Structure 1
Amino acid sequence: MKFKLLVAFVLFATVTYAQQDSKQDSLRVVNRLGYNNPSKLTIGGYAQIDYNEPDGSAPGKLDVHRLVMLFGYKFSDKVSFLTEIEFEHVKEVYVEQAFVNYSFNTAFNIRGGLMLIPMGYVNEYHEPPVFYGVERPGLDTYVVPTTWRELGIGATGNLQNLSLRYQAYIFNGFISYKDGEGTLRGVDGLRKGRQKGAESVIHNPNLSVKFDYYGILGLKVGLAGYFGETQSDDPSVEGSTVGVSMVGLNASYRFKNIDFRGQYIYSSLSGTEDYNNLTGKDLGSKMDGYYVEAAYDFMPLISQNSTKQLYLFSRYETYNTHAATAGDLEKNNAYDRQDITFGFDFKIAPGVVVKADYQWRTDAVEDSNRLNMFNAGVGVMF
């Protein structure tokens, strides 16, 4: 039933014509690499400040959730470097991206370094003014562990005559076993296995590919795949690695003031029975989920000449990190979660957004104790 709903959404978007060019997503990537910048140095960034309040219980929390500074340098017309330095919760520092790009032409580039895994929509486009809602969707947190980046090398390009952008990389994978302990678990799947380019272990290269089609005005459809095996700092330990196969389908469609988005992610993990027996973890053998989202810009109804945008949006999503389990491990219904989010994104200037939303959050446990959530925040991107 879940898959049928997603297929219906994609077919609806595919047969409808729009009035806004979806090529801007591809151009945004080009601009961030500095190709359209007359200066050799490109400086940018984004930031997110949040307020989160559980419904009727603990006090709310204020947080400078993340501040990311982007620096790009164009050594020549063909060679450039891009990096993003991330500060999370004021006190944690990470490198989000750091890669060299060699451009033969628009259709073929070679990249190497720390890069984003092209899976879904938000993992690639995760700046606060780009996605709806204060927090990133649960599907893009628990099934796709955004922000998911690893070290690798590959090719990317834009086949303009086919209206197709492609990416293909070889990456190091998640680490599943380190210092004699397992890192992966049922509640958040692969998330704790992200190596993030920090003294990464690799003995099993992983393949990541994605195709984005934008040939219909206003529509963008992406199909992604990720295949390989997790890493272990001692691969001789039987059961310390897990096979990973993940497939993602995302679609976005804009028509005048209306914006639709949908996404489906399916992940199959092999060898989880041996892994759980070795580590004592509860990693599931299958994870999946989807969401559908709609937004409408009311600002033209208020002021036709305004440069501001006021989007009211609603998103329904369901995601399950225990969609299936192997061996004697029973499914944990608390990991089968559903979120309904309703709120607004008020873009007061290009790159500056004020957000607020309310989330109705449940799971498959009878008398679930998941709390609803009120969120508010400010996001910037430049």
Structure 2
Amino acid sequence: MLKKMEAMEQRIQSLEAELKKKDAPAPEKQAAAVPEKQPASSDKNPKKAPAPDPKKGASAAAPPSDPPQNTQGKPASKSKPLDVSTPASDLPILGLAPSPVAGLSIGAYGEVKFGTMQNPAANGQWQNGFDAARMVLLPTYAITDNIIFNAEIEFEHAGSGFDNEDKLHGTAEIEQLWIDFKIVDQFNWRAPGIDLVPIGYINVHHEPTQFYSVNRPELYNGLIPSTWKVPGTSIYGTITEDLKYQVMLSASNEDFGDTFDARTAAKTVPPPGTPYFPGIDGLNALTFSNPPLGDFQQLSNTVAVSGRLDFTPTFLPGFGGSISAYYSPNTTPRGAHDDFGNFLGASSLTMFDAEFRYRVPNTGLELRGEYVRVEFGHPENLRANNDTDPTDNVGKSMFGYSGEIAYHVPLGTFLSSDWEAVPFYNYTYENFQTGGFAGTDANLPTGAGQRQFHTAGVAVFPSPKVVLKATYQRVIDKSLAGALSDSFLGGVGFFF
């Protein structure tokens, strides 16, 4: 009897070994567990470096290839590691658990900010503050191998609305919502939904592990109205190993920055005689011009077109860059008028962006640079030039540029993780009020629209998926009182 039991036990062990061998992932499935190929780097410790990747480094809104797969063939978590050599988690539900539904994965990112800053509305008084800035869920579902659902559900500023009792003042919104139809590598279609305009790097890859400052880089705080989400549809694909593209048709941005209840039932601005806030102005640039996403509330029939080329040349390891453009033939909303009741004509908007990221191989050095320019076809028809307030006037163009230097310093292994510190310095210049302030306002630009930002600090990465930040920012403009907007900020960010 004992011999029979021993033989049976050996048989069971043999069957278990065969089953494990059968379930082991094939080489091609193992390769699929790693995010899409990023620019190579010959750094000896590449997993400690933020990847300068425009291909698929940080956001589902970038022109993607097939979603990363885990070893069970299911889409992997949307966790995008800091570098190509760090594999994605094989646990698709927030990196913590297997998916209960084949094809389903859920990722997340978020950030918390705190510190002290000057308040220009209080004559530059320093004031302490805290902001649970955002918590974002990233569900993905592979309906089939070629039909992929993606969404981004965002909660901002610790709330889902304004609540006086609970002291919440936040939003809950759908930041991305679309279905991809994967056809061939060279040509794929993203069905109409909510998507990000393919302009710049940080608008598309805006998770807090992708930039070193506590706040997003200044070029994306108005000049590029990040997060620049629009109703749109696009095509995208891979031209060569080094080059990818995306072309989008979307609802146009609007020169209307007032509240929803200021829109009439006729889908126009308030009637003549009723003032309203501009969507484009010389103090906030394009911050308030994004089109609404719901309930047919758009104030224009205009369709905008935008496009982007991402390049990661194989002959230059560690380098990534992009050029992108946006054009709307008319940003003037229905019924637009000046403060005297005169109706305003059309005004086009053209934007161009060029940026690069370069992690120098075999060193800790990283360089980034970007240039953005916006041109207006008829600035005399912009609301800001016709609202009897000359302080927010807009010229023929806006532009800005930035340069950044960072250095990656390994800190050693703590708490079972390789830590890294990235001290950095960024200089940004913006000009929202160039010459040609035509309109009914006095053509007097203010210095507030011309700003310099000196930002220095350190980002510490306990893991590629977590970052601790400290930033000092000095802001200078040409207004009489000065910018009065300096800050000392700390932050905690995550992305998995």
Question: Which residue is equivalent to 1:251?
Answer: 356
| Deviation at residue 247 of structure 1 after TM alignment | 0.3
Residue in structure 2 matching 1:36, options 54, 60, 69: 69
**Matching residue within 320, 327, 330 for 1:220:** 320
Deviation at 1:351, TM superposition (A): 0.8
Residue 142 of structure 1 contacts residue 321 of structure 1 at CA under 8 Å; is this kept in 2? no
Task: State the partner residue of 1:360.
Answer: 474
- Matched with 1:286 is 397
Shift in alpha-carbon separation, 1:94–1:242, aligned structure 2, 3 A? farther
Displacement of 1:59:
2.1
Match of 1:269 in 2: 376
State the alpha-carbon separation in 2 of the partners of residues 124 and 80 from structure 1: 18
Separation of aligned partners in 1, 2:381 and 2:250: 24
1:124 aligns with 204
CA deviation after TM superposition for structure 1 residue 274, in Å = 2.6
Q: Which amino acid is the alignment partner of residue 219 of structure 2?
A: L
What TM-score, normalized by structure 2, do the two folds share? 0.68
Distance apart, 1:52 and its partner CA: 3.4
After TM superposition, give the deviation of residue 273 of structure 1 in Å. Answer: 1.2
- The one of 160, 163, 177 aligned to 1:98: 177
Structure 2 residue runs without a partner (length 5+): 1-39, 75-102, 119-123, 160-170, 257-262, 264-268, 271-275
2:146 corresponds to which of 64, 70, 78: 78
Shift of 1:349: 1.4
Which AA in structure 1 matches 2:115?
N
Q: CA deviation at 1:306?
A: 6.2
Query: Could you tell me how far 1:283 is from its partner in structure 2?
Result: 3.2
Aligned to 1:69: 137
SS at match of 2:288: helix
1:208 aligns with 2:276: no
1:185 to 281, 287, 311: 281
Matched, 1:310 2:390: no
Deviation at 1:272, TM superposition (A): 2.1
Asked if 1:26 corresponds to 2:55, the answer is yes
**Aligned partners of 2:289 and 2:413: how far apart in 1?**
48
Task: Name the structure where strand makes up a greater proportion of residues.
Answer: 1
For 1:339, which of 453, 461, 478 is the aligned residue? 453
- Output the CA distance in 2 between the equivalents of 1:26 and 1:274: 38
In 1, Cα distance between equivalents of 2:176 and 2:345: 28
Please tell me whether the aligned partners of residues 146 and 182 of structure 2 are also in contact (alpha carbons under 8 angstroms). yes
More displaced stretch, 173-182 vs 344-353? 173-182
RMSD of aligned Cα (Å): 2.6
Question: 1:144: Cα distance to partner?
Answer: 0.4
- Partners of 2:282 and 2:148 lie apart in 1 by 40
- Find the counterpart in structure 2 of residue 7 from structure 1: none
Report % sequence identity: 25
- Kept after mapping to 1: 8 A contact 2:54/2:201: no
Matched residues in 1 for 2:200 and 2:42: separation? 24
Indicate if the aligned counterparts of 2:318 and 2:359 stay in contact, CA closer than 8 A. yes
- The match for 1:51 is 114
Aligned residue in 2 for 1:60: 128
C-alpha distance after superposition, 1:239-286 (max 9, x if no partner): 264210000000000123221110000001122213345544633331
SS of 1:98's equivalent in the other structure is strand
Query: Helix, strand or coil: the match of 2:382?
Result: helix
- How big is the shift at 1:290? 0.5
- CA 186–33 in structure 1, closer or farther in 2 if over 3 Å, else same: farther
CA distance in structure 1 between the aligned counterparts of 2:481 and 2:378, rounded to whole angstroms: 33
Question: How far apart in 2 are the matches of 1:19 and 1:44?
Answer: 29
The one-letter amino acid paired with 1:95 is I
Partner letter of residue 208 of structure 2?
P
Change (3 A) 1:149 1:156: same
Provide Cα deviations, 1:65-124, integer angstroms capped at 9, x if missing partner: 111111111111111111101111122112111111111122221113111111112111
Instruction: Give the Å deviation of 1:303.
Output: 6.5
SS in 1 for 2:422: strand
Query: 1:196, 1:101 → 2: CA distance?
Result: 22
Structure 2 counterpart of 1:168, which letter?
V
Q: Closer, same or farther in 2 for the Cα pair 1:104/1:231, shift >3 Å?
A: farther
Among 318, 331, 337, the residue aligned to 1:230? 331
Return the alpha-carbon distance in structure 1 between the equivalents of residues 227 and 395 of structure 2.
Answer: 21
Q: Distance in 1 between matches of 2:185 and 2:481?
A: 55
AA of the residue aligned to 1:374? F
Q: What secondary structure is seen at the aligned counterpart in 2 of 1:60?
A: strand
Give the Cα separation in 1 of the matches to 2:238 and 2:172: 33
Question: CA-to-partner distance for each residue in 1:163-193, whole Å, 9 max, x for gaps?
Answer: 1010101111112245323433221122111
CA contact (8 A) 1:308 1:349 kept: yes
Structure number with bigger Rg? 2
Moved more, 52-61 or 326-335: 52-61
Post-superposition offset of 1:367: 5.1
SS of the equivalent of 1:110 reads: strand
CA distance in 2, matches of 1:297, 1:365: 37
Unaligned runs of 5+ in 1: 1-16
CA distance in structure 2 between the partners assigned to 1:65 and 1:52 by the alignment: 13
Question: Cα 1:212–1:369, aligned 2, differ >3 Å: closer, same or farther?
Answer: closer
Distance 1:240 1:96, change over 3 A: farther
Decide whether aligned partners of structure 1 residues 225 and 296 sit closer, same or farther in structure 2, where only a CA change above 3 A counts.
same
Cα offset for 1:230? 1.5
- Whether the 8 Å contact between 1:176 and 1:240 is mirrored in structure 2 is no
User: What is the CA deviation profile of residues 207-239 of structure 1, one whole-angstrom value per residue up to 9, with x for unaligned ones?
Assistant: 100101101211112110001122524479842
